[in-house]
Amino acid sequence: MVNGRNVERRTILKAAGATAATLGMAATTGCGGDGGASADGTVTIRYAWWGAEDRAERIKKTIALFEKKYPKIKVKTDFQPYLDFWKKFNTQASGGNPPDVFQNAVGFLRKYDAKNVLLDLSEQAEAGNLRLDGFRAGLEKFGEIDGKLLGVPVGSNSMALVIDKPVYTRAGVKPEQGWTWDEFDAGMKKIRDKTGRAGDSGMYGVMYLYDLYLRQNGKAFFTEDGLGFTEADLTEWWTKAEKGVKEGVYADPKKVVQIKPKSALAGELAAGEFTWDNFTVRYSAEGKSEYALAPIPTTDGKKTGQYLGSLMLSASKRTQHPKEVAQFIDFMVHEPEVAKIMGYDRGVPATQAQYDAFKPTDPVNKAIAAYEESLVEAGVLEPITPHPSGADICESAFLRIAEELGLGKRSVDDAVKQFFTESKTALGT
């Protein structure tokens, strides 16, 4: 999701792992939770997520509400930055001791299902402990893989083009639903020529944008068991990106790296940047301009290839408390008060009840809600591309190799070959 941006935004997701004390206790039981119930019937479940301190504070407030409603269920919490979370989670999963419930993303579902880590929540839904009604735009299907319910969405987002509105206005560029890539390219040149700024931060490593482009052309980044495009396809994409940098319509990657962690858009190196819609909050916080969400360019003026992405909650197959875990997930995705606390921290609320409960008053979050509503009304949303086991490794490779290409450390041909070599190993193809 990125283009030389900091890890926070490039991976779109930040993560949480378990504390040493919790790990030590869980290791003695060899399973999730506290290994059983206390004398009064109280059980303890472990909940892990990724994110910064502000997310942690919000989540702790929601847990307090949950424990008030379910006094016999106690929740032990762990959180860490994204990369640290997955390192620790891999260790926990390998040792048969993952958290009872944890934040997850679509790129990891098949991977951990194949490792026999994830609990199929369908049984709990059938038992009435987890409601699957009331979700927006078909999001209840987002965590279904091969007939199993492996995750339940807590929020949604979609790819967008975040723009510096005054710069676009000054250049006379008006992005509208259905505009084409040719119109986008022409707009980038107008911005460069009329404002002296690069039109976009560059598209070297925006894997999810490339996925949309492929979907617009009848392909996809992933199939259920591998990559859905060829070396020739990627060569064309990265050649265009490299040419855009040389022509000054995309920001110089070397300068983008120099101003990290600030983005190229907020740092005024570019007039726009492709990213997830709910990341817009960040630009307003770190930049001085007015930012807006613009539609994704199309190949034919109609098909954007877009879908709603989502963070979700998954459960461990080894948990001793599947009912309590299901009740916890149900509360977190349906309880209106949770939405009032979390806001759009993890995306736009996935259920209608939570969506209605939180009405943003600030311009940025209002724009995010309006953008997702416009996608639904325009009828452009499609089912998400399947992600095979190993997709997370492919995404990391795409990001890293694209940055090396942008910095001049690799040629296009070398970058393409390296990506396919690493991906084939990760996917076992």
Q: How far apart are CA 78 and CA 102, in angstroms?
A: 9
Q: Would the pLDDT of 51 be above 70?
A: yes
pLDDT of 261: 85
Alpha-carbon torsion angle 413, 418, 424, 426, nearest 10: -150
Q: Would the pLDDT of 115 be above 60?
A: yes
SS3 content of the chain, % helix, strand, coil (to 5): 45, 15, 40
The total of other beta-carbon atoms located within 10 Å of residue 216's CB is 19
pLDDT of 154: 96
Domains parsed from the chain with CATH numbers: 7-157+309-358 (3.40.190.10), 160-305+390-427 (3.40.190.10)
Percent of the chain with pLDDT over 90: 77
Report the amino acid identity of residue 63. Answer: I
In 181-331, beta strands by DSSP E: 272-276, 291-294, 311-315
pLDDT of 198: 98
Report CA-CA distances (Å) from 384 to 75, 138, 144, 222, 224: 32, 11, 11, 10, 11
Report the amino acid identity of residue 57. Answer: E
Of the pLDDT bands very low, low, confident and very high (cuts 50, 70, 90), residue 101 is very high
Q: How far apart are CA 108 and CA 389, in angstroms?
A: 7
Q: Would the pLDDT of 23 be above 60?
A: no
- Mean residue pLDDT across the chain: 89
pLDDT of 18: 33
Convert the pLDDT of each residue in 188-213 to its tens digit.
999 999 999 999 998 888 999 999 99
Q: Would the pLDDT of 26 be above 50?
A: no
The total of other beta-carbon atoms located within 10 Å of residue 236's CB is 14
Q: How far apart are CA 59 and CA 342, in angstroms?
A: 7
175: part of which helix (H) or strand (E)? none
Report CA-CA distances (Å) from 217 to 2, 220, 228, 319: 21, 8, 11, 43
Q: Would the pLDDT of 16 be above 50?
A: no
Q: Which of 10, 13, 420 is nearest to 227 (CA)?
A: 420
Question: Read out DSSP for 36-92?
Answer: SB-TTS-EEEEEEEE--HHHHHHHHHHHHHHHHH-TTEEEEEEEE-HHHHHHHHHHH
Q: pTM of this prediction?
A: 0.82
Convert the pLDDT of each residue in 315-331 to its tens digit.
999 999 999 999 999 99
* Beta pairing class for 152-153 and 311-315: antiparallel
Q: How much is the CA Rg of the chain, to the nearest whole Å?
A: 22
Tokens of 393: 């490794």
pLDDT of 223: 92
| DSSP state, residue 370 | H
| DSSP state, residue 295 | P
pLDDT of 386: 78
pLDDT of 35: 54
Q: How far apart are CA 143 and CA 151, in angstroms?
A: 4
Of the pLDDT bands very low, low, confident and very high (cuts 50, 70, 90), residue 37 is low
Convert the pLDDT of each residue in 263-283 to its tens digit.
999 999 999 999 999 888 788
Average pLDDT over residues 343-347: 89
Q: How far apart are CA 270 and CA 198, in angstroms?
A: 5
Spacing of C-alpha 410 from chain mean position: 27
Which of residues 283 and 169 earns the better pLDDT score?
Answer: 169
- CA triplet 360, 361, 367: central angle to 5 degrees? 65
- CA triplet 389, 144, 338: central angle to 5 degrees? 110
Alpha helices in 143-230, H assignment, sequence order: 165-171, 181-195, 207-216
Q: How far apart are CA 316 and CA 8, in angstroms?
A: 25
Convert the pLDDT of each residue in 237-258 to its tens digit.
999 999 999 999 999 999 999 9
Average pLDDT over residues 98-107: 95
Residues facing residue 298 across a β-bridge: 180
Residues facing residue 5 across a β-bridge: none
Q: How far apart are CA 373 and CA 8, in angstroms?
A: 26
Average pLDDT over residues 31-36: 50
pLDDT of 331: 98
Average pLDDT over residues 40-62: 92
Alpha helices in 358-408, H assignment, sequence order: 363-378, 391-406
pLDDT of 36: 60
Q: Which of 218, 251, 245, 249 is nearest to 233 (CA)?
A: 218
